[in-house]
Amino acid sequence: MCLCFLSNSVDGTELFQKIIERGSFSEMDAVKIIRQVVDGIAYVHEHGMAHRDLKPENLLCATGDDGEILIKIADFGLSKAFSDGDPLKTACGTPDYAAPEVLTLDQTGYSDAVDLWSIGIITYVLLCGYPPFYADTVPELFEAIKRGTFSFPSAEWSTVSANAKDFISKLIVVDPKARLTAQQARAHPWLADDSAATGAINFSRFQQYATQRQQQAA
């Protein structure tokens, strides 16, 4: 799945590491990144596929001619074709970024809406430097995700735009039918209007989180 021009090569750098290497990051940068992810997932969904493991490590970076970060969605090992009559039922993905319906796994199964939940989590982390759900143990984390209750603490979020918070709040929604689709996310003001991304980001907090994830993966 390619989201940038064929003349650009992927350098293999994961998204968070690429941001740290740049040494700075703004809300506008987050808009440009998430817009590409949403466009890519919209394309995947339009072709009857769900990725099912969207996370920062699966967003690889290339550098455009103008120096902008270009995103390529990687690792389709857990992706699967779906249809309304054949819902997805396999438990898969990465706990921090998994949608609640994947964790519940009732008889109704789940749909490609799980990818939009993951995009909401990625966006949240990009803008503040920590995930919306956390716990001391994996079972406790799963319970927190299934409840779906989160907040925007003022220490990190007071400088982030209202449009960004609204975008996240419409993706991190427990009911998948109430979640934005990829097409609806594309049209949200935060992605559709560059002037809406006016906030600042706590870059040092983001660095801490990115370093922690790298250490956990090592």
Rg (CA), the chain: 16
CA–CA distances in Å: residue 179 to residues 15, 92, 149, 151, 218: 25, 20, 15, 17, 34
DSSP E strand boundaries for 3-139: 13-14, 49-50, 59-63, 69-73, 80-81
DSSP string, 38-52: HHHHHHHHHTTEE--
In order of 26, 28, 144, the CA distances from 114 in angstroms are 26, 25, 16
Pairing, β 80-81 against β 49-50: antiparallel
Contact 188, 170 (CB under 8 A): yes
Grouping H, G, I as helix, E, B as strand and the rest as coil, residue 10 is: coil
Q: Active-site positions? A: 53
Residue-wise DSSP of 136-163: SSHHHHHHHHHHT-----HHHHTTS-HH
Assess contact for 4 and 62: CB atoms under 8 A: yes
